[in-house]
Structure 1
Amino acid sequence: MPLVDSKGMLVFALNNRFAVGAFNAYNLEMAQGIVEAAEEEDAPVIVQISQGALEYASEQCYAGFVRALAEAASVPVACHLDHGVTFEVVIRCLRAGFTSLMFDGSALPLEENIRVTRELVRIAHAAGVPLEGEIGKIPDAAKGPLTPEERRKFLTTPEEAVQFVEGTGVDALAVAVGSAHRMRVQAADLDIERIALLREKVGLPLVLHGASGVRDASLKEAILAGIAKVNFATELNKAFTSGLREKLAQDPDVVDVRKYGVLARDRVKEVVKEKINILGAARRGREVLSFISNFYSGRVSADMPGAIE
């Protein structure tokens, strides 16, 4: 089926207490593994391309192969820009055909973050594409551990979240609630009370970044509290590279990239399938397709949380 945007997926997930997996892909094999896993689990899925990935290949390249995979799939697939940190990159990805966008202005002063995000929302919505914003800061575990006091400074506050949502019109909100980017082990527990309060205050699908380092039990609690989109990258990178190492160790003379690429792809697929089930998204693909059709035809109530006006 054609690529879809992420809006209907996340509204449905929020109202049905599960989360859509958003998985970062850096090459064709990773994207294949992600979409194949979603097909086998009958789950909606978001293939994410980070701004950093655009230094490896162009936005046109990524949009092209994700579109091709989506058109051959039976489940809803979105192509999402993850952590776009410049105005120009967001617009480039919109023009390339991405069906979901994120502007991460969390490093900016709050007023500047609101101003730039609001303008990008206006442009994206004119093209019928949803945009995710971020408030609060998600730390980078690779830069070293934080003290409890330092970690609290990063967390999203309900007051700033309300100000940001009202000032921008974003479709989904990435929040800092205890996770960290590039964690190599699952050791983080999330602030569930904060998530529930944010959900109550802003009424939008909430997004969790840095989920590879979050304990499964805490992740499930977070979804019940209001998280509707969960991002994974580090675990997929680990799975892909372990597959490569395994194949090259077994057959050090192999020169056909397809032979080690397929094992790396399968390792990614295994991880994605596991995460889809933890998120409660398995066997929801057809339901999401039906909802998306009704959502954009106006046959569902416009006063649902996060519904398009």
Structure 2
Amino acid sequence: MPLIDSKGMLIYAMENKFAVGAFNANNLETAQAIIEAAEEENAPVIVQISQGAIDYAGEDCFFAIVKTLAQKASVPVVCHLDHGVDFGTVIRALRAGFTSLMFDGSSLPFEENVKITKMLVEIAHASGVPLEAEIGKVPDAAKGPLSPEEVKKYLTTPEEAQEFCEKTGVDSLAVAVGSAHRMKVQSVRLDIERIANIRERVGVPLVLHGASGVMDESVIEAIKAGISKINFATELNKAFTNAIKEKLQAEPELVDVRKYGAYARERVKKVVKEKIKLLNSTGKAEEIMDFINKNRYFEKKSDTSKIVE
């Protein structure tokens, strides 16, 4: 089916106490694995393309891959820009056709984050596309060990989350509640009380980044407390890389990239299916589409190719 935007999908998840999985794709095989897993679980899915992936292969290339796979899929698929950290990247993704966007201004002063986010919300909405933003800051574990005190200073407060949403009109909000990017071991427990308090003050779906390092039971608690979109990247990268290592170790003479690529694809698909089940989004594809068809949040899209960067 055609790509859809993320707004109705996440609102439905928020109202029905489950979460939609958002999985980062860095190549064809990973994108295939994500969408095939969603089809096998009959689940809605968000395929995320990060700014790093765009720097690696370009927004047009990745969009073409996701769009082609989605058109052949039997479940709703979103093509989402993950962590666009500058104005130009967000606009390029919009022009390329992405159906969901994220601007990450979490490293900026609060008022500057508000200013740029609000501007991008207005541009995205004029084209019928929702925008996610981040307040607080999800730290990067790859930069070194994170002390509890360091994680704590980045946490989102309910008050700033409410103010940010009111000033920007953002469609979904990524919050810092104890997770970290690029963690290779599941060891984190989230601040569930903080999530619940933010949920009480904020009317838009909440997003959890850095979920690869979060313990499964804490993910389940976070969904109950109000998280509606959960991002996974590192676990997919680990599965893909480890599978290739395993395959080449077993068959060191193998040079056909399709064979070890297919092997890695199956391993990633297994991980994605496990996460979809964890988020309780299995079997939700049809009801999400029914909800979206009954609730149109945007007018007809304008021609995004005419947007000037």
TM-score by length of 1: 0.95
What is the letter of the counterpart of residue 19 of structure 1?
A: A
Q: CA separation in 1, counterparts of 2:279 and 2:127?
A: 30
Q: CA separation in 1, counterparts of 2:49 and 2:232?
A: 11
CA separation of 1:193 and 1:112: change in aligned 2, threshold 3 A: same
The corresponding residue for 1:69 is 69
What is the letter of the counterpart of residue 36 of structure 1?
A: E
The corresponding residue for 2:307 is none
Q: Which runs of 5+ in 2 are unaligned?
A: 299-309
User: Does structure 1 retain, via aligned residues, the 8 Å contact 2:7–2:297?
Assistant: no
Q: Which runs of 5+ in 1 are unaligned?
A: 299-309
Q: CA separation in 1, counterparts of 2:148 and 2:220?
A: 23
Q: CA separation in 2, counterparts of 1:5 and 1:118?
A: 19
What is the letter of the counterpart of residue 79 of structure 1?
A: C
Secondary structure of the equivalent of 2:296?
A: helix
Secondary structure of the equivalent of 2:93?
A: helix
What is the letter of the counterpart of residue 120 of structure 1?
A: L
The corresponding residue for 1:303 is none
Post-superposition Cα deviations, 1:264-302, rounded to whole Å, max 9, x if no partner, equal 10011000000000000001111111111111189xxxx
Secondary structure of the equivalent of 2:228?
A: strand
Check if 1:116 corresponds to 2:129: no
Q: CA separation in 1, counterparts of 2:262 and 2:295?
A: 37
The corresponding residue for 1:54 is 54
Q: Which moved more, 1:15-24 or 1:142-151?
A: 142-151
Post-superposition Cα deviations, 1:55-101, rounded to whole Å, max 9, x if no partner, equal 11110000101000000001000000000000000000000000000
The corresponding residue for 1:198 is 198
Secondary structure of the equivalent of 1:296?
A: coil
The corresponding residue for 1:304 is none
What is the letter of the counterpart of residue 159 of structure 1?
A: E
Q: CA separation in 1, counterparts of 2:77 and 2:86?
A: 25
The corresponding residue for 1:305 is none
Q: CA separation in 2, counterparts of 1:256 and 1:192?
A: 47
What is the letter of the counterpart of residue 22 of structure 1?
A: A
What is the letter of the counterpart of residue 63 of structure 2?
A: A
CA separation of 1:119 and 1:197: change in aligned 2, threshold 3 A: same
Identity of aligned residues (%): 68
Q: CA separation in 2, counterparts of 1:297 and 1:116?
A: 22
Question: Number of residue pairs matched?
Answer: 298
Post-superposition Cα deviations, 1:173-205, rounded to whole Å, max 9, x if no partner, equal 000000000111100000001001101101110
- Matching of residues 221-240 of structure 1 within 5 Å: 221-240=221-240
- Matching of residues 1-309 of structure 1 within 5 Å: 1-296=1-296
Compute the displacement of 1:148 (Å). Answer: 2.2
Q: CA separation in 1, counterparts of 2:241 and 2:151?
A: 30
What is the letter of the counterpart of residue 259 of structure 1?
A: K
Compute the displacement of 1:147 (Å). Answer: 2.5
What is the letter of the counterpart of residue 75 of structure 2?
A: V
Q: CA separation in 2, counterparts of 1:193 and 1:37?
A: 32
CA separation of 1:4 and 1:21: change in aligned 2, threshold 3 A: same
Compute the displacement of 1:27 (Å). Answer: 0.4
Q: CA separation in 2, counterparts of 1:297 and 1:58?
A: 29
CA separation of 1:105 and 1:297: change in aligned 2, threshold 3 A: closer
Secondary structure of the equivalent of 1:181?
A: coil
The corresponding residue for 2:301 is none
CA separation of 1:249 and 1:83: change in aligned 2, threshold 3 A: same
Secondary structure of the equivalent of 1:74?
A: coil
User: Does structure 1 retain, via aligned residues, the 8 Å contact 2:8–2:297?
Assistant: no
Secondary structure of the equivalent of 1:287?
A: helix
Q: Which moved more, 1:137-146 or 1:287-296?
A: 137-146
Secondary structure of the equivalent of 1:46?
A: strand
Q: CA separation in 2, counterparts of 1:52 and 1:24?
A: 11
Secondary structure of the equivalent of 1:56?
A: helix
Q: CA separation in 1, counterparts of 2:240 and 2:24?
A: 12
TM-score by length of 2: 0.95
RMSD (CA atoms): 1.0
Q: Which moved more, 1:98-107 or 1:153-162?
A: 153-162
